[in-house]
Chain A
Amino acid sequence: MVKYIIVRTVWIFIVLITILSLNYTLLKLAPEYPPTTEEARGIYYARQVADGYMTERVIDDPTEVQSIRDGEVEFCSNCWAKLEVDSSDNYQFRIYEPVPIVVQYFRWVENVVFDWNWGYSTRVAVNVPVFDVLKERIPVTLQLNLIALFFYIPIGFVLGIIAALRKNTWVDNLISFGVMVFISIPNFVVMTLLLMLLGYQLEWLPTQFPANDIEDFWLQFKGLILPVLGLSFAAIAGLTRVTRAELTEVLTSEFLLLARTKGLTRKQAVIRHAMRNSMVPLVPGIIFSFVGLLSGSVIIERIYSVPGTGRIFLRAMLAGSYDYNVILATTAFYTIITLFAVLLVDLSYGIVDPRIRMGARK
């Protein structure tokens, strides 16, 4: 068992590092978008130098400076030059040049691992440490998704159980049809339709996520209804389907027949034997569904103006104004949560299913 846990954990870390490295290297190959104002850019590049992603050199030879100013000499293709006047009124160029991407990559790993320094934002919140930008938004997203998680699980279970117990009746057909519908429709379509109906037409709910500083509990509560619903429909449908399938299978199994022949009522047999056994394979699925919710919430946050990580990601992804450090940190956040869920699922399989535990020894 211990070996199984270690193997899975190490493997997940390998995957994590691979994905993050791939992301970093490929994003570094794309064109740079430093801050727009000259002043902010100066600060940004100075910090890049301090973090080790760039080198700085000064050209103060008057003839060389003049030839650069006249445009005769191209000093380098992907660096940034700043014209300065020194104490004795001479012009000089301060040149910032990026170090090779491989070196940048190792500096980046070092900065992240030892200083928890994810770099500075270039466009979203100019020159603010990226982690600070993200820090305020993570709770919003997590709160929303956890509420959705705890909202959808009981509903999905109950509907699945009802459908399985009333298999092939009109109730089951109705639920199965609803499952088909909601599993098929993209969640942003569901969200848009809900917003249109409940927000704009009936005016029951706010049409935008209320600002965090408003201390009106009722309004905050109402503001959560739409995004939670938008996130939950597909998840409820998915859970209902799996629960129904699992429970149906267990209900036809021999040990349940044995339980009935021993004299248990149907109710007792279902609750004590069928339910428990069908729930076991569902638990890992639920853990993993959180990842699904989280990635679905990106688009929900956009539609409903929720100030969460998804929205900051999309803002950093504005065409022609990419903020790579924010993108990197946000995707790292999503990747870490995803892989952590994968690990939990793997381990829970190991705990739940003895065959996997044995299999570790081969």
Chain B
Amino acid sequence: MADEKRNLTSEDFRFVQAEEKIYDKKFDTKPIGYFKDAMIRFGKNRSNVIATSILFLIVLGTIIFPLLSTKNYTLVIPEFSNLPPRMPVVENFGLFDGTSFKEDQPVDLSTIDPETGLGFPIGYESEYIVDGTLKNYIKGCTEASELCQAGENVMRVTSNFDYLSIFSEEVLWVTMSQNPVVKININEIIGEDVTLNVLVKPTTSSDYVVIGSITDTDGIGEYTFNFEDAVTGITPSLIGSKIKLQFVSSDVSSYIVFDTVEVYYDSQDEAIYSYSGFELSEFEYDVEDEFSSGTFSRQNGELLLAEFRYDNYGAALSDKEILAFSAVDYYELIDSYGADCQAYDDPNNVDPEGKLFPDACPIKKIIARNESVIVAGEEYYSYNLILNYAEYKGYTETPYFLFGTDMAGRDLFTLLWVATRTSLIIGVIVASINISVGIVYGSISGYYGGKTDIIMQRFAEVIGRIPWLVTLSIFVALYGPGITTLILILIVSGWIGVASITRTQFYRYKGREYVLASRTLGAKDSRLIFRHILPNGIGTIITSSILTIPYVIFAESTISYLGYGIGHGQSFNILGVKLSGVSVGVLLSDGRAELASRPYLTLFPALLISILMITFNMFGNALRDAFNPALRGSE
């Protein structure tokens, strides 16, 4: 096409306005102002728009959710503590369904069902263990606990001591005519020149007498020793004695392992006294003997443990025995239910105050009335009663605590929004302080320049070079942890960034002709600063400073996480804004101790603060890029 030769004659051209006068014409399109231009640029970046929307939703959420919430997020309700998350819809897929998986819970040995062979864990209500999830298994244990079954016992000598003596707690009574014997089963004997002496103290003798010894040359196996060897002279028909075991060794690395100590009658197969496992480990150290010292420990024990899924909500909302339910609350409750809570006497209760209630009443039964206390002429007392928690708290069906509850029974979902609100408000307040201080400082430094500028820059540099640990230590030591410390730490060096941006803007505009013109007309410094220079730079300054808000939130959460900021139970009033003492950092700090057992306490706050920070940063960057396209990409 381009190569094609064209022949153009004068007929191909014509005058457009040969006869007309030329006037200024109005634009056919609408003019695009500075802000509109910025908004168009802002809207072009899809991901930034998404981020901004999410940020907007989060801010909206911090306002709306605490208002709408019907759940408790301020009071401590121990009965609702540590409930796992429960979400509608998702729960049908087995995720966040209000149950929690427990493992390594010791089994109450008395509850073992002979049919299934399964035992129930200690400290849990068996009816709320989800059907079919209970499993029992055995784990090795060494602790001296009743739950730790079977296993062996080991004796060792401490260095510089000659032997270790232990003896049975109870006194063993045996009839001599039936030929009682002590049986001991040795599993291992390690070391040279080591001996295990078995001693008894018959009533006739004042001292323990050795009835038998086992040495390392004898080796392992079962040994039997006769009681008779201890008795000299006239044999009494009945003797009572403790059994004493004495491990003799001069080497700390030698030890002896045995699992049972039993006393038999010669003629019978069944032991009359038998010690093994936990009972054997209960043998006492001979503390009166100053030459005896060492350790008597267990090994290879078996601990029966259970793993199961537990319905925490069911357990929390069941009938519960409440100790010390205050009478004031009690009468309030009774009044509010009226006829539904008409108490009648409990025939089976020993306490004269014992009462029963109809089914419709959340109180099921009064067990007893506690003694009253008189404080300042007023009488206070309380009841021990059985209360249905679901009805008492007004739950007709199992509630959904979306993110679970924390240790104090507060709804984490609502609490998290309240915390985010606190973080955001602190962020905005501190950032506005920083921005104001920064603008003033930067204006002075930038406008006057010269020596003033140099001195102010040097001062700002010194302040900016102070490590945050130094600021932290100074303010914490002087004012103690709390909101004052928190805000002081955040503003002490936070304004420097804004100041340097402002200074740059002032350097950029103060030499312009219009400033010079104004100056020659006799304008004062204040007029030049506030009317001519600052308004030109303010857009850049503000949009660049928006990023201080996420920075402040970041720093606030870090300081609160370390425990030097705000905390539960506090509330403050800053510039007319009422804040609770819970911020996201505080929630994360709460969750830290329970990272293993209750990860949701950390997971949800961590996710929310991450999303908040990411969207806030994206929003800030987008805003800055939109208003100052020249700065794009230079972070």
List the interface of chain A (C-beta within 8 A of B).
15, 18-19, 22-23, 26-27, 29-30, 177, 180-181, 183-186, 188-189, 192-193, 195-196, 199-201, 207, 241-242, 245, 248, 291, 295, 298-299, 302-303, 313-314, 317, 319, 322, 324, 327, 330-331, 334-335, 338-339, 342
B473 touches A19 (CB 8 A): no
The interface residues of chain B lying within 8 Å CB-to-CB of A299 are: 558, 561-562
Give Cα distance in the complex from A18 to B463, angstroms: 10
B523 an interface residue at 8 Å Cβ cutoff? Answer: no
Instruction: Quote the shortest CB–CB distance from B189 to chain A (angstroms).
Output: 30
The interface residues of chain B lying within 8 Å CB-to-CB of A302 are: 562
23 of the cross-chain contacts (CB-CB < 8 Å) are A26-B478, A181-B614, A184-B613, A186-B557, A186-B558, A188-B558, A189-B606, A189-B609, A189-B610, A192-B588, A192-B591, A193-B603, A193-B606, A200-B599, A201-B599, A245-B633, A245-B635, A295-B468, A295-B469, A298-B469, A317-B476, A331-B473, A334-B467
B596 touches A327 (CB 8 A): no
B residues 145-180 touching A (CB-CB < 8 Å): none
A319 touches B561 (CB 8 A): no
The interface residues of chain B lying within 8 Å CB-to-CB of A319 are: 476, 480-481, 563
With contacts A192-B606, A313-B469, A339-B465 known, is A180 near B617, CB below 8 A? Answer: yes
The interface residues of chain A lying within 8 Å CB-to-CB of B602 are: 192-193, 196
Measured CB to CB, the nearest residue on chain B to A291 is B467
Measured CB to CB, the nearest residue on chain A to B479 is A30
The interface residues of chain B lying within 8 Å CB-to-CB of A23 are: 470, 473-474
The interface residues of chain B lying within 8 Å CB-to-CB of A26 are: 474, 477-478
Max chain A Cβ within 10 angstroms of own Cβ: one of B469, B562, B606, B609: B469
B348 an interface residue at 8 Å Cβ cutoff? Answer: no
Measured CB to CB, the nearest residue on chain B to A303 is B592
With contacts A245-B634, A330-B469 known, is A189 near B550, CB below 8 A? Answer: no
B467 touches A207 (CB 8 A): no
B470 touches A335 (CB 8 A): yes
Contact of B469 among A27, A181, A185, A334 (CB under 8 A): A334
Instruction: Quote the shortest CB–CB distance from B583 to chain A (angstroms).
Output: 12
Instruction: Quote the shortest CB–CB distance from A28 to chain B (angstroms).
Output: 10
With contacts A189-B610, A331-B467 known, is A207 near B596, CB below 8 A? Answer: yes
The interface residues of chain B lying within 8 Å CB-to-CB of A291 are: 467
Instruction: Quote the shortest CB–CB distance from A235 to chain B (angstroms).
Output: 15
B461 an interface residue at 8 Å Cβ cutoff? Answer: yes
With contacts A299-B562, A331-B473, A334-B470 known, is A200 near B462, CB below 8 A? Answer: no
List the interface of chain B (C-beta within 8 A of A).
47, 461-462, 465-470, 472-474, 476-478, 480-481, 550, 554, 557-558, 561-564, 588, 591-592, 595-596, 599, 602-603, 606, 609-610, 613-614, 616-618, 633-635
Contact of A248 among B474, B599, B633 (CB under 8 A): B633
With contacts A19-B470, A192-B595, A245-B635 known, is A186 near B478, CB below 8 A? Answer: no
Give Cα distance in the complex from A324 to B473, angstroms: 9
The interface residues of chain A lying within 8 Å CB-to-CB of B595 are: 192, 195-196, 199-200, 207
Instruction: Quote the shortest CB–CB distance from B342 to chain A (angstroms).
Output: 52
Give Cα distance in the complex from A19 to B470, angstroms: 8
Give Cα distance in the complex from A148 to B467, angstroms: 20
Measured CB to CB, the nearest residue on chain A to B615 is A184
Contact of B477 among A184, A313, A324 (CB under 8 A): A324
B473 touches A327 (CB 8 A): yes
The interface residues of chain B lying within 8 Å CB-to-CB of A180 are: 614, 617-618
B614 touches A314 (CB 8 A): no
The interface residues of chain A lying within 8 Å CB-to-CB of B550 are: 184
Give Cα distance in the complex from A302 to B467, angstroms: 18
Instruction: Quote the shortest CB–CB distance from A338 to chain B (angstroms).
Output: 5
With contacts A15-B462, A188-B558, A189-B588 known, is A242 near B635, CB below 8 A? Answer: yes
A18 touches B606 (CB 8 A): no
B469 touches A331 (CB 8 A): yes
Instruction: Quote the shortest CB–CB distance from A277 to chain B (angstroms).
Output: 17
Measured CB to CB, the nearest residue on chain A to B478 is A30
Given contacts A185-B610, A334-B470, 16 further A-B pairs with CB under 8 A are A19-B462, A19-B465, A19-B467, A22-B474, A23-B473, A23-B474, A26-B478, A30-B478, A181-B610, A181-B614, A186-B609, A192-B595, A199-B595, A299-B561, A324-B477, A338-B465
B635 touches A192 (CB 8 A): no
Closest 8 CB pairs of A and B: A184-B613, A30-B477, A184-B614, A185-B610, A200-B596, A26-B474, A184-B617, A331-B470
Instruction: Quote the shortest CB–CB distance from B573 to chain A (angstroms).
Output: 23
Give Cα distance in the complex from A322 to B563, angstroms: 14
The interface residues of chain A lying within 8 Å CB-to-CB of B465 are: 15, 19, 338-339, 342
Measured CB to CB, the nearest residue on chain B to A319 is B481
Instruction: Quote the shortest CB–CB distance from A207 to chain B (angstroms).
Output: 7
Instruction: Quote the shortest CB–CB distance from B461 to chain A (angstroms).
Output: 7
Instruction: Quote the shortest CB–CB distance from B374 to chain A (angstroms).
Output: 35
B606 touches A338 (CB 8 A): no
B477 touches A322 (CB 8 A): yes
With contacts A26-B478, A242-B635 known, is A314 near B562, CB below 8 A? Answer: yes
The interface residues of chain B lying within 8 Å CB-to-CB of A339 are: 465
Measured CB to CB, the nearest residue on chain B to A29 is B478
The interface residues of chain A lying within 8 Å CB-to-CB of B461 are: 15
With contacts A185-B610, A245-B633 known, is A295 near B467, CB below 8 A? Answer: yes
A335 touches B609 (CB 8 A): no
Give Cα distance in the complex from A177 to B603, angstroms: 21
Max chain B Cβ within 10 angstroms of own Cβ: one of A186, A193, A299: A186
Max chain A Cβ within 10 angstroms of own Cβ: one of B470, B476, B563, B614: B470
Instruction: Quote the shortest CB–CB distance from A214 to chain B (angstroms).
Output: 20
Contact of A188 among B462, B466, B561, B614 (CB under 8 A): B561
A19 touches B477 (CB 8 A): no
Instruction: Quote the shortest CB–CB distance from B442 to chain A (angstroms).
Output: 21
With contacts A186-B557, A319-B481 known, is A241 near B470, CB below 8 A? Answer: no
Give Cα distance in the complex from A317 to B478, angstroms: 12
Give Cα distance in the complex from A199 to B599, angstroms: 12
The interface residues of chain A lying within 8 Å CB-to-CB of B591 are: 192
Contact of B554 among A186, A192, A193 (CB under 8 A): A186
Instruction: Quote the shortest CB–CB distance from A169 to chain B (angstroms).
Output: 15
Measured CB to CB, the nearest residue on chain A to B51 is A180
A241 touches B635 (CB 8 A): yes
The interface residues of chain A lying within 8 Å CB-to-CB of B467 are: 19, 291, 295, 331, 334-335, 338
The interface residues of chain A lying within 8 Å CB-to-CB of B606 are: 189, 192-193
The interface residues of chain A lying within 8 Å CB-to-CB of B635 are: 241-242, 245
Give Cα distance in the complex from A181 to B592, angstroms: 22
B633 touches A186 (CB 8 A): no
The interface residues of chain B lying within 8 Å CB-to-CB of A200 are: 595-596, 599
